[in-house]
Structure 1
Amino acid sequence: MAGILDSVNQRTQLVGQNRLELLLFKLVGPQRFGINVFKVREVMPCPRLTLLPKQDKFIKGVAHIRGQTISVIDLSKATGGPEITPDENSFVIIAEYNRSVQGFLVAGVERIVTLSWQDIMPPPEGTGKSSYLTAVTEIDKEMVSILDVEKILNEISPVSTELSDDVKDESFGKSIGERVIMIADDSTVARNQVKRALEPLGLNMVLAKNGQDALDQLNALAEGCDSIDEKVALLISDIEMPEMDGYTLTAEIKSNEQLRKMPVILHTSLSGVFNNAMVEKVGAEDFIPKFHPDELATAVKKWLNKKELS
């Protein structure tokens, strides 16, 4: 597994081309799963784990890795499967989500594959709200499931969506009248986190389940208008989404005369130095790492105020 994450700089060139790389792994059984390589810091054989008193039932233990103490989550048990028993085939995927670093215990790691986001599809209808799938794809004629890691982490350690008193302002929504804020994210948990965080601003919000859904909704709303900002005041979009990622969505918006005036805030758990360059390249107005409700609400107020003053 040494070198599996080499050439990161080369991989960042895929971003903005509606492409991604998936690290394939297994839990218990033959089913394969995937995680975006850009979320992954390191892949390593499972180290010795230390148990903590009263630790969450899904936490296998903690490990001291490169000067940092990291919780290791049994990814199978956390998604309703059988517990993983660490052995010589077990690995820990060290990943960064929502400004924190976690380890995910998996039963085996396979390889990295390069795909188009167009090949990544939403979960099948009927999977239900309790599903841990955020997307699926087909590799080697087999289905690969992409887990909603934000949902898993939120169940283990719920994220606060409460705004500070000095940020709350229920009258703020009146300044944009009947116009709405659109929230695009493939994670149901993440969409609802953003929605709850912005409700104290008195905003009307509409939701989109991925980039393609957001673009379709925007084009439909723009029909008969000179500009979409007559109806949609601002878009908050995740970056990694099935069918169309947030960078491609932003580029499509900024190249469309009817849509381009609408401010776009990219709001993502993706980390890395390439983000700021990509935000500038595709023309987004702002980039906010997930998830700090005050920072997000402050950015929304900033760009809505700028729009009103322009």
Structure 2
Amino acid sequence: MSKLLHSVNQRTQLAGENRLELLLFRLEDKQLYGINVFKVKKIITCPALTEMPGRHPIALGVANTMDGPLPILDLKLAVGHGNSENIRGKSVIVAEYNRKMQGFLVDKVEHIINLEWSDIHPPPKGVGNEHYLTAISKHQDEIIEIIDVEKIIAEIMPFNEQMDEPMSQALDTALKEKSESPEATEESKQASKQVIVVDDSVVARNQIKRCMETAGFTCTLLKNGLEAYQFLENLTMSGKKPTDDFLLMISDIEMPEMDGYTLTRRVKENPDMQGLYIILHTSLSGVFNKAMVEKVGADDFLPKFDANELANAVLERLNA
């Protein structure tokens, strides 16, 4: 296992090149699955677990590790294929999502493959259980299913999507000041209340949508970087600039077809789009994030998901 992940921390050169590496694994159903290597911290053999009272059925228990308590989740059960029959001796993929560490019980870890994000596609209708799939790809004639882990985690440990009252009031005040400014036109007033949200996870899109709508914004929801770029292209072809209609764009990084880094770079390189303010909002972690944000020209970066931090980032844009 150590050899498999030996160079994980050196793989960041793929970021921004519309490429990724997937760690492939199987569950007891023998289906091939993948997880972005950037999210994987290590792979361990399933340790002894302590069951917690009132636990969610997917949560097998908590392992005491050198890094502290680690919840272990039954990924097979989470995707609707029934309980894992025997956890002893099985592998656990330890990964970080949304600022928290989780262990995902899997039947067998295989190997790492290098792919273009353009080779990762949204799941077509009728293929697999779409309620947990966020994307699919192919490797050696096998379909790879990429699970919407954020959806699974949100069901077990729901996030607080409500911003604090002082933050809500600050946003409301900033919006009023923007609309009452002597320089404000009807178009600019409308634009200051509209944001673009780009994320392949339906859970993540709706989290942002609910947070922004609570603060009085209207959201245009898009599913991946390619869809977002085409949307912006159509806008410019109609004679508009994105800043004519939108205050900013909030984009995930990991997305099929085109990742958030590539989307940002292409927007910032396009003279008709480059004024659009972009916040990269992702469950990815690591020291490379800040450098990559600067490299591709994003205006801000936020780890998922904190309603107050997101609201504060939008507030800073309003007050700029």
Aligned to 1:27: 27
Map of 1:37-186 to 2, 5 A cutoff?
Answer: 37-87=37-87, 90-126=90-126, 131-168=131-168, 169-170=171-172, 172-173=174-175, 175=178, 176-179=188-191, 180-186=194-200
Q: 1:37 to 1:132 in 2, by over 3 A?
A: same
Residue aligning to 2:256: 242
What runs of 5+ residues in structure 1 fail to find an aligned partner?
none
Please list every run of 5 or more consecutive structure 2 residues that lacks an aligned counterpart in the other structure.
Answer: 179-187
Aligned pair 1:264/2:281, yes or no?
no
In structure 1, distance between residues paired with 2:101 and 2:28: 23
* Greater Cα shift, 245-254 or 220-229: 220-229
Question: Does 2:221 correspond to 1:207?
Answer: yes
AA aligned opposite 1:68: G
Query: What is the Cα-based RMSD across aligned positions, in Å?
Result: 1.7
Q: Distance in 1 between matches of 2:279 and 2:37?
A: 23
Q: Which residue of 1 aligns with 2:318?
A: 304
CA deviations 1:120-149 (Å, max 9, x no partner) are: 000112569961000000011111100000
Contact 1:172 1:201 in 2 (8 A): no
> Does residue 276 of the first structure (1) align with residue 300 of the second (2)?
no
C-alpha displacement at 1:3, in angstroms? 1.9
Name the stretch that deviates more: 144-153 or 63-72: 63-72
TM-score by length of 1: 0.94
Letter of the 1:223 partner, please give it. M
Number of paired residues? 306
TM-score (norm 2): 0.91
Deviates most, 219-228 or 268-277: 219-228
Shift of 1:87: 4.9
Secondary structure of the 1:177 match is helix
Q: Could you tell me how far 1:4 is from its partner in structure 2?
A: 1.3
- Identity value in percent: 48
The alignment partner of 1:2 has SS state of coil
Give the CA deviation at 1:226. 5.4
Cα deviations by residue, 1:51-85 (Å, 9 ceiling, x for unpaired): 12222111111111223101000001112112113
Structure 1 CA distance, aligned partners of 2:216 and 2:277? 19
Q: Measured at CA, do residues 133 and 40 of structure 1 come closer, stay the same or move farther in structure 2, by a change above 3 Å?
A: same
* Secondary structure of the structure 1 residue equivalent to 2:228: helix
CA contact under 8 A between 1:182 and 1:207: conserved in structure 2?
A: yes
Aligned-partner SS, 1:122: coil
Q: Contact between 2:72 and 2:105, CA under 8 Å: does it hold in 1?
A: yes
